[in-house]
């Protein structure tokens, strides 16, 4: 239970950082931010592994760069489920996914989570 709460906290802070850094990302309230973090966590556990399996050959051919597109797609999907949250373009989504990954890695290292 502690690990789940920690994961949600890290995702929430990372999404807040993305919202702060990108003008094309709009998250209307703290409640929307929390809901978005929950949905993103659920999609990362369910949909993302399936996409990684099906797109493995393309990811291999692009030396792993296609995983950025998958991350962007999952992030766009999470934003589409939450009213009060929006991203203006897929380019912004992919860049936001990169920043989100960096922020998650940094925060996870900071709290000692693997």
**What pTM value is reported for the model?**
0.91
Average pLDDT, the chain: 94
Say if CB 27 and CB 101 are below 8 A apart. Answer: no
Beta strands, E only, the chain: 25-27, 85-87
Phi-psi sector, 63: left (phi>0), alpha (psi -120 to 50), beta: left
Extract the tokens encoding 52: 């990684």
pLDDT at 114: 57
Instruction: Check pLDDT > 80 for residue 32.
Output: yes
Percentage above 70 pLDDT, the chain: 98
pLDDT at 106: 94
Instruction: Check pLDDT > 60 for residue 30.
Output: yes
């Amino acid at each position: 239970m502690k690990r789940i709460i920690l994961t949600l906290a890290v995702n929430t802070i990372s999404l807040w950082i993305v919202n702060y850094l990108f003008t094309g990302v709009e998250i209307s309230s703290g409640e929307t931010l929390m809901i978005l973090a929950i949905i993103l966590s659920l999609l990362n556990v369910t949909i993302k592994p399936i996409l990684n399996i099906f797109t493995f050959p393309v990811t291999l051919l692009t030396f792993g760069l296609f995983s950025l597109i998958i991350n962007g797609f999952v992030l766009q999907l999470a934003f589409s489920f939450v009213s009060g949250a929006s991203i203006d373009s897929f380019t912004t989504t992919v860049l936001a996914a990169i920043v989100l990954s960096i922020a998650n890695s940094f925060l996870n290292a900071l709290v000692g989570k693997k």
